[in-house]
Each structure stands twice: as structure tokens, then as C-alpha cells.
Amino acid sequence: MDSLRKIIKDFYSIEYDAKFSKSGTITFHNPDSSEFTKHDYDWYIIVALEKADKVTIDRHLLTRELLLGYRWAIREGYQHGLDGNLKREYDYPRNKNTIKGIQGYIDLIKKLSEKEYQS
């Protein structure tokens, strides 16, 4: 039985071996096709993609840059305790499911991260 899995969405696709690993390759489609290697431990990108998939307007703005920024913000929010809603792996941030909501979350975590760094 083939354990290779592929998920295809309008703004990304992911391919991984479901039997042996959580790692795989994510291909972002906006603005151009580009690959990102997802490692076993990287649940942050999965949460970012799942939340981004709830966006219903302006999905063409779900770019590699925005999604990797969102991933970074989720990781920082969890690892540094900057987002109290991220208590366990795979918890979702509580931003609105819009492009503006995602960008606002990134900006908030960036601001909190800079404040933490200065302390």
C-alpha cells in the first residue's frame, strides 16, 4: 500500500510519507511556485496552513512570505509564551480568519517579541 499522501489546495500543496514521517515538502503557489521543507517537529506550519485555509476572501494574497511569517509568529507565540492561547502543540491562534487578521497577528507577535528581547 502506498503511504505517500498529497494535499492540494489553491495556495499550497503538501506531500509526505504518512507511514514513516511527518516531514515532507510544501509547495507554495503564490506568487510563484516555491518549495519549503517541513520537518517532523514543525507543527507550526501545519497550524498556519490550516488557519489560512479558513480565509475566504483574497486567497491569492496567501503568499509564501505571509504564510512563513505566520508560521514564525505561531512558533514565537508558543515557544516564548507570547500568545496565551497557544498552550499545546497544534493549538490555533485566535486571530480573525482574514488576510488582515493574519498580518495583524504577525505584527502583534513581532511587537511582543521585540519587547521581550529588549527586557
Q: What is the pLDDT of residues 21-40, one digit of tens each?
A: 788 999 999 999 999 999 98
pLDDT digits (tens, 9 = 90+) for 83-111: 999 999 999 999 999 999 999 999 999 99
**4-8/34-38 β-pairing:** unpaired
Quickly count: other Cβ atoms within 10 Å of residue 72's Cβ. Answer: 17
What is the tens place of the pLDDT at every residue in 7-18?
Answer: 999 999 999 887
| Predicted local confidence at residue 16, as pLDDT | 87
Residue spans of the domains in the chain: they are 4-118
Rounded Cα–Cα distance for residues 8 and 62 (Å): 14
What share of the chain in percent tops pLDDT 90? 85
Handedness of CA 31, 44, 99, 54 (dihedral sign): positive
Q: Is residue 49 within 8 Å of residue 28, measured between CB atoms?
A: no
15's grid cell: 506531500
pLDDT of residue 19: 75
The three-state secondary structure class of 2 is coil
pLDDT of residue 22: 80
Residue matched to cell numbers 502506498:
2
